[in-house]
Amino acid sequence: MRRQTITLLLMLLPVAAQQVYHAPKGADGHPNFNGIWQALNTANWDLQDHAARPGLVIADGTLSADPGGIGVVEGGEIPYLPAALETKKRNFENRLKLDPEIRCYLPGVPRANYMPYPFQIFQSPKALFFAYQYDGAVRNVFLKDPGPAPADSWMGQSVAKWEGETLVIDVTGFDERTWLDRAGDFHSDALHVVERFTMIGPEVLSYEATIEDPKVFSKPWKIKMPLYRHVEKGARLMEFKCVEFVEDLLYGDFAKKPK
């Protein structure tokens, strides 16, 4: 019996070894993340498990319906403080007016990485830069810590380091007005996000983000999902300058003939 067990373990070792992916290295000696990436999930609608639900614009029928999806929150539930949970519920009930995505505000981190739009990573030995299709959002990722963020901003300040083959980005200095999804999940100006990017296949990144905000959540929590590289011929970011789509929504009351 013991001999059979040892034989089985020896047979499984090659299979286990195949599951460890070592990404090709770039000029800086680190995994090469250059490319256009996209999440293929429904996290932007709701980070937690959710069933399909009708949209808020009835005339659109199924066009604006929310798709159901599997949650990306480790443990399944976001650990809100009691008062913050009530705010989240009010946000959801009034999301058609309050969600900053509707008004074309910059999405913030981590939301920018799982919106239904691609983004591009530019990597060199001296610099990292993230460009997002949605609203032309960008992130300059520092490889040397410049110190505390000089001011709060929509996308925060990103400082990166390498832990083996994993790129770790520490993000602080957030404007409190961004949301984490369309379900009303939110944060305060005390938000702190630590992201981890790891190649797990030739065209797949494992993305993790640990979210900490003592004003809103009872403890830090984590989301995790794969990001897929676009490999189709001619893949590139397209323009999505959404400001022109919301001008009437934002400024229609000031027009001579309101629409």
CATH of the domain at 168: 2.40.128.20
Residue 148, domain extent: 30-51+67-234
| Cis amide linkage into residue 110, ω under 30° from 0 | yes
Give the chain's mean pLDDT.
Answer: 90
Cβ atoms 37, 227 nearer than 8 A: yes
1 occurs within a structural domain? no
pTM score? 0.88
Residue type present at position 156: G
257 occurs within a structural domain? no
pLDDT tens digits for range 110-156:
999 999 999 999 999 888 999 999 999 999 999 999 999 999 999 99
Give the number of other Cβ atoms within 10 Å of residue 239's Cβ. Answer: 7
Buried b (16+ CB within 10 A) or exposed e, 154-167: bbbbbbbeeeebbb
Cβ atoms 241, 136 nearer than 8 A: yes
Domain count, the chain: 1
Inform me whether the pLDDT recorded for 20 exceeds 50.
yes
58 occurs within a structural domain? no
